């Protein structure tokens, strides 16, 4: 059996090497290639095939199963062609924006309590309405990395507002807020959300990232839990601006004391339910997913966002085992291949 492995890099990286080695021990060949290696006219791939511990350049047919990182989806013609000839672990269909994620989850009574009031920023009146209703709001780019471009706005009075960006806070007037939104927010694709105060006891913003991978049986497994803390950050966590990770068990014991173990299992079970729900909303069979949660001062759980290309650092060995099990078992993908 042969599985394709599509990434934007010209040469395989550490995870690809691990997956290829594990797959070979299971009798599965890995064909590594980038979008530039696909010949659309001949429907062939000039990729790297892993054999006997080495990568060898070959010309090959398109494999029936291809592991695709979502960062490759920008090559639309290539993805469209591959989609016609193979099952892709990420095919770019029915992807959820930050707005549609909240909107569709809110439509299901089983998940409403996890959602955050959200709207698209089409005009300043959208922002003003949220400020009137919630007082504390967040302005978030529809597409962003590392929480870049995320602002918190607090309404202190009809004429005075506080604008927060990472650890910087300034007071602005109503007119200055309008000017800021016109110049920085409304000219881009932004959403406005109610602010969820997911804050550690010492005042730093935190989120809880769960990383999910599919098993060979087609079930989601949580392979990593991280409590990510933004040091001196009041709005969001951002590694580039300074931050760290708290051990999940320690965090839960500090927060819930004797109930820590029970609470941890409850949150993990809820995470698995959300992962299954997101996959059903996508109407596609997924192989990997991460979800960021927040916990407010009432201990209520909220979904911040979902990521279909989670960081794999420090998880390479377990991911390699799961990806090869998943990719080499057609039933794990819902008998997609017939």
Q: Contacts from 186-190 at CB under 8 Å and sequence distance 24+?
A: 186/121, 186/122, 186/123, 186/124, 188/141, 188/149, 189/141, 189/142, 189/143, 190/120, 190/121, 190/139, 190/140, 190/141, 190/142
112 band by pLDDT with thresholds 50, 70 and 90? very high
Which stretches within the chain are classed as H helix? 14-25, 76-85, 98-106, 124-134, 174-180, 248-256, 260-282, 316-327
Q: What pLDDT shows up at residue 155?
A: 97
pTM, whole model, 2 decimals? 0.87
Asked whether the beta carbons of 68 and 287 are under 8 A apart, the reply is no
pLDDT digits (tens, 9 = 90+) for 34-60: 999 999 999 999 999 999 889 999 999
165 band by pLDDT with thresholds 50, 70 and 90? confident
CA–CA separation, 254 and 232 (whole Å): 20
Q: What is the mean pLDDT of residues 250-267?
A: 92
Rounded mean pLDDT of the chain? 90
Q: What is the mean pLDDT of residues 182-196?
A: 96
Could you tell me what percent of the chain has a pLDDT over 70?
Answer: 92
Q: What pLDDT shows up at residue 118?
A: 97
Q: What is the mean pLDDT of residues 281-293?
A: 93
Q: What pLDDT shows up at residue 168?
A: 87
pLDDT above 90: residue 187:
yes
pLDDT above 80: residue 228:
yes
Q: What is the mean pLDDT of residues 2-21?
A: 94
Q: What pLDDT shows up at residue 148?
A: 78
Q: Which residues of 185-222 are buried (b: 16+ CB within 10 A; e: fewer)?
A: bbeeebbbbbbbebbbeeebbbbbbbbbbbebebebee
pLDDT digits (tens, 9 = 90+) for 323-335: 888 877 765 665 4
Q: What pLDDT shows up at residue 337?
A: 41
Q: What pLDDT shows up at residue 204?
A: 83
CA–CA separation, 123 and 130 (whole Å): 12
Q: What is the mean pLDDT of residues 271-299?
A: 94
Q: What is the mean pLDDT of residues 75-88?
A: 95
């Amino acid at each position: 059996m042969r599985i394709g492995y599509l990434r934007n890099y010209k040469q395989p990286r550490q995870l690809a090497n691990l997956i290829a080695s594990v797959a070979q021990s299971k009798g599965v060949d890995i064909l590594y290639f980038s979008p530039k290696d696909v010949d659309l006219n001949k429907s062939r791939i000039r990729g790297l095939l892993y054999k006997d511990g080495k990568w060898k350049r070959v010309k090959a047919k398109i494999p029936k199963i291809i592991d695709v990182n979502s960062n490759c989806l920008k090559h639309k013609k290539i993805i469209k062609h591959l989609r016609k000839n193979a099952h892709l672990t990420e095919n770019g269909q029915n992807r959820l924006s930050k707005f549609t994620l909240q909107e569709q989850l809110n439509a299901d009574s089983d998940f409403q309590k996890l959602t955050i009031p959200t709207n698209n920023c089409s005009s300043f009146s959208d922002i003003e309405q949220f400020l009137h209703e919630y007082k504390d709001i967040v302005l978030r780019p529809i597409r962003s990395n590392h929480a870049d471009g995320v602002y918190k706005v607090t309404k202190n009075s009809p004429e005075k507002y506080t604008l927060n960006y990472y650890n910087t806070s300034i007071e602005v007037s109503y007119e200055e807020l309008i000017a800021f939104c016109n110049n920085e927010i409304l000219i881009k694709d932004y959403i406005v959300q109610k602010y969820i105060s997911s804050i550690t006891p010492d005042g730093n913003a935190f989120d809880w990232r769960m990383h999910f991978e599919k098993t060979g049986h087609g079930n989601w497994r949580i392979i990593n839990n991280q409590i990510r803390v933004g040091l001196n950050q009041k709005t969001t966590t951002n590694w580039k601006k300074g931050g760290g990770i708290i051990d999940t068990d320690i965090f839960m014991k500090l927060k819930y004391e004797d109930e820590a173990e029970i609470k941890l299992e409850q949150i993990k079970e809820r995470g698995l339910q959300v992962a299954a729900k997101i996959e059903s909303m996508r109407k596609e069979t997924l192989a990997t997913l991460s979800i960021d949660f927040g916990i407010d001062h009432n201990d209520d759980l909220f979904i911040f966002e979902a990521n279909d290309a989670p960081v794999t650092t420090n998880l390479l060995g377990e991911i390699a085992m799961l990806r090869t099990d998943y990719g080499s078992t057609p039933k794990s993908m819902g008998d997609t291949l017939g």
